[in-house]
Amino acid sequence: MINLLNLAIVKASKKKVNGWYYYRYYEIFCYQLTGFETFVNLLYEGKVSVNLESYVFKSGYKKGKSYHKRLIFRIEKDNIPLLFDLKYHLNLD
């Protein structure tokens, strides 16, 4: 099962006026995963990395048991087109 089939990257600018933050969204990229085989190949090539954050409880009734917090996938911005196909792009500038 693949959880990340689609990816959206939104570029924005931020400014603070009278203590309030205002955001301006000016560009969006919508991608779709090319395939799981591509992901595995990029993993072997070192272009995608996977990290598992886990901990061991040090006290309480769960002491000594492991806790898996999250699974993190990392990919350089330049390698995104290797893993995802661009399906939509909108530039408002």
pLDDT tens-digit map of 55-91? 888 888 888 888 777 788 899 999 999 999 999 999 9
Q: In terms of DSSP bridges, do strands 48-56 and 66-75 run parallel, antiparallel, or are they unpaired?
A: antiparallel
pLDDT one-digit tens code per residue, 13-65: 999 999 999 999 999 999 999 998 999 999 999 999 988 888 888 888 888 88
pTM of the model: 0.71
CA atoms in the 13 A half-sphere facing the CB of 74: 6
Cα dist. 41→6, 8, 32, 81 in Å?
A: 19, 22, 17, 14
What's the pLDDT score for residue 58? 87
Separation of alpha carbons 50 and 82, rounded Å: 16
